[in-house]
Copies of this chain bind each other. A is one copy, B any other.
Amino acid sequence: MATLKDVARLAGVSASTVSRTLSGNIHVDEQTQQKVWAAIKELKYKPNILAKSLKEGRTNTVALIIPNIRNPIFPAVTRGAEDTARKNGFTLILCNTDEDLSVEKDYIDKLTNRWVDGFIFATARDDSSHIMELKSQGIPVVFMIRSIDNHSDTVTVDNRGGAYKAVDYLISRGCTRIAFINGPLDIDLYRQRLDGYKNALKEHGIPIDDRLIVNDVNDQDNGYHAMLNLLDKGIKMDAVFAASDPKAVNAIKAIKSRGLSVPGDISVIGFDDLDIATIVEPSLTTIAQPAYDIGTTAMDTLIRLIDGHQNAKPIVLDTHLVVRQSVR
Q: Which residues of A contact B (CB under 8 A)?
A: 22-24, 37, 40-41, 44, 46-47, 49-51, 53-54, 57, 59-61, 63, 68-70, 72, 74-76, 78-79, 82-83, 86, 89, 91-96, 103, 105-111, 113-115, 136-138, 249, 275-276, 279-281
Contacts and interface: CB of A to CB of B under 8 A. Distances in A.
Contact of A49 (B79, B82, B115): B115
A136 B181 CA distance: 55
Nearest to A44: B57
A129 to B, nearest CB: 11
A84 B235 CA distance: 46
Q: Which 7 A-B pairs have the closest CB atoms?
A: A24-B109, A94-B94, A50-B54, A69-B75, A70-B75, A49-B113, A281-B281
A94 B82 contact: yes
A138 B50 contact: no
B79 A70 contact: yes
B114 A59 contact: yes
A92 B91 contact: no
Given A68-B79, A75-B69, A249-B279, A111 B93 contact: no
B115 A46 contact: yes
Contact of A70 (B44, B76, B137): B76
Contacts of A94: 78, 82, 92-94
Contact of A50 (B22, B53, B69, B108): B53
Contacts of A46: 54, 57, 115
Contacts of A114: 49-50, 53, 59-61, 91
Contacts of A78: 69, 94
Nearest to A53: B50
Given A69-B78, A70-B76, A110 B91 contact: yes
Contacts of A82: 69, 94-96
Nearest to A276: B279
